[in-house]
Structure 1
Amino acid sequence: MEIKLESLTIEHAKPLWQFERENRSFFETMVPSRGDDYYIYNKFIQFLQELLKEQERGEGQYYLIVNSQNTILGRINLFNVLENPSFSAEIGYRIGEPYLFKGIASRSIEMVMKHLNKKYKKMEVIAKTTSHNYGSQKILEKNGFRLTEIEKDGATLNLELYDFLYYTWSN
């Protein structure tokens, strides 16, 4: 499947909101909930506008992962971006449940990392996932991230505690 990354804009609001709503139950099995307000359209627009302001200020880089029909397959984001004197950021991604096991997350990370490598000589990117998200762990390791820290019982999902695993990529 062909994929591309599109920089997040306000024009993506309605399809992105629908994507998030359709995948909410699945996402909340892997990552902490964003809360009920996130799924109310007017509130969602406010959250989106805040992300776009961060992007304008250079504090984040937010992308949609889309196919050739411009269907949203997932998201990949760089946040807490610092560019002085070297580049550092945290990376996060989520793939819609119908699009799992197709290599989309791995290829998206690879695309972002290639872009960053061309732009920055020195950089560090941090990712975190939950201890039960074996797919994400595998994807990060495949893309050169190394496990650097474990936060015991850092995540609560459906009333169960999981460790947060922190991965780092640097050049």
Structure 2
Amino acid sequence: MEIELVPLSLDYAEQLLKFELENRSFFEEMVPGRGDHYYKREKFLTFLTELVVEYEKGEGQYYLILSGSNTILGRINLFNVKEEPFFTADMGYRIGKKYVRNGLASTSVEMIMTLLKEKYEIMEINAKTTCHNHGSKRILEKNGFVLREVEIGGAKLKDETYDFLTYSWSNL
């Protein structure tokens, strides 16, 4: 499947809210939930606007993963961005339930890393996942990320506690 990374914009607000609502339960199986307030339309638009402003200021890089027909398949985000003394960021991604196991997450991570390598000579990118998210661990490792830290009991999902794993990619 052909995909493209498109910078987050308010043009996709309604489609993105629908995507997030449709996939909420699925996402919350692997990562901590965002709370009910996130999914209320007005709050969602406020959060989305804040991300767009962060993007414009260079404080974050937020992308939608789109199919050729402009269907939102997922998201990939760089947050906590700092450019001095070298580029650092935390990365997160999510693929909609209907689209998992098609290589979209791996391809998206590869695409974002290619963009970053073209723009920044020296960088460090970190990504967290839970210990039971085997797919995400494989995706990160396939893209050159190395396990750096284990936060025992760092993630609580639906009355279960899991370890949070921090992976890093660096050319320091």
TM normalised by structure 1 equals 0.99
Q: Deviation of residue 57 (structure 1)?
A: 1.3
Please state if 1:2 is matched with 2:2: yes
SS at match of 1:88: strand
> What displacement does 1:58 show?
0.7
Q: Who is 1:20 aligned against?
A: 20
Counterpart Cα distance in 2 of 1:126 and 1:138: 15
Superposition misfits of 4+ residues, deviation over 3 angstroms: none
Q: Percent identity?
A: 61
> Match for residue 118 of structure 1?
118
SS at match of 2:102: coil
SS of match in other structure, 1:144:
coil
| Structure 1 residue runs without a partner (length 5+) | none
Instruction: Provide structure 2 residue ranges, at least 5 long, that are not aligned to the other structure.
Output: none
User: Does 2:158 match 1:158?
Assistant: yes
Give a deviation string over 1:85-119, Cα, whole Å, max 9, x none.
21000000000000000000000000000010011
Match of 1:38 in 2: 38
SS at match of 2:125: strand
Distance of 2:111 and 2:141 partners within structure 1: 15
1:92 corresponds to which residue? 92
Partners of 1:43 and 1:118 lie apart in 2 by 35
Matches within 5 A, 1:71-86: 71-86=71-86
Deviations 1:112-162 (A, max 9, x none): 000100111100000000000000000000000000000000000010000
Residue 162 of structure 1 aligns with an amino acid whose one-letter code is: Y
Corresponding residue number in structure 1 for 2:170: 170
User: AA paired with 2:100?
Assistant: L
